[in-house]
Amino acid sequence: MKYSSLQSVVFLFFFMVLSCAPAKRVVVQQAPRVIEKERIISKSFDAVWQTSIEWFATHNTPIKNLDKSSGLISTEYSVSIGEAQRYMQCGAGSSTFSGKVEMSNYTGNFNVLIKKLGDNSTKISVNVFFGCTINKYRYKSLISTEYILESSTRTNCVSTGTLEKEILDYIEAMN
């Protein structure tokens, strides 16, 4: 089959238009992390309460508030750098900053809530909140290799779910 010169020009025109069209931009979003924060345990309230207190004691975690009638145990503590990497993710802010960024003063705050559902059924919930300080440094001068602190801000961090799982697993596994 022969093409006329007009058909060839029309075909070439459409081919050029389609090939010059902007490519579709594909945005891939990370799926939200699912964190298990509560569990129903086949144990009595008193057994779960006692095991929860033992978790705090064996993990050198100070108890800030303790109220058995409401089932609440809460704490605030400084988190070591090793724990911080396992338990939380903290953003460093803007990526256009030209200097040094350091995160420090990691803190954790969490509570355990224990609720009696039946004689041998107890619901336990673990709520975790983390934070850190983000320090931004800039060079002291254009020719200097020394840094000076430009800003220091407190920021909230996101739990990895590791601490919640460790607490729930510990309490469920104990007799």
What per-residue confidence (pLDDT) applies to 37? 95
Give pLDDT tens digits for 14-35: 545 445 545 455 555 555 678 9
**What pLDDT does residue 98 have?**
72
pLDDT of residue 113: 97
| 138: in domain | yes
- Which residues of the chain have a pLDDT value below 70? 1-32, 92-97, 175
Tell me if the pTM is above 0.85: no
Token representation of residue 6 = 């007009």
What's residue 18's pLDDT?
A: 47
Domain assignment present for residue 121? The answer is yes
Residue 2 lies in a domain: no
Q: Is residue 88 part of a domain?
A: yes
Instruction: Identify the pLDDT of residue 175.
Output: 65
Residue 115, domain member (yes or no): yes
The overall average pLDDT reported for the chain is 83
Q: What local confidence, expressed as pLDDT, does residue 82 receive?
A: 80
Q: Are 136 and 101 in contact (CB under 8 A)?
A: yes
State both tokens at 22.
Answer: 């902007």
Residue 45 belongs to a domain with what CATH number? 3.30.530
The answer to whether residue 151 is domain-embedded is: yes
The pLDDT value given to residue 85: 85
Residues of the domain holding 144: 38-173
What's the pLDDT at 116?
97
Is residue 33 one of the residues assigned to a domain?
no
pLDDT at 157: 92
- Is 147 among the domain residues? yes
Structural domain count of the chain:
1
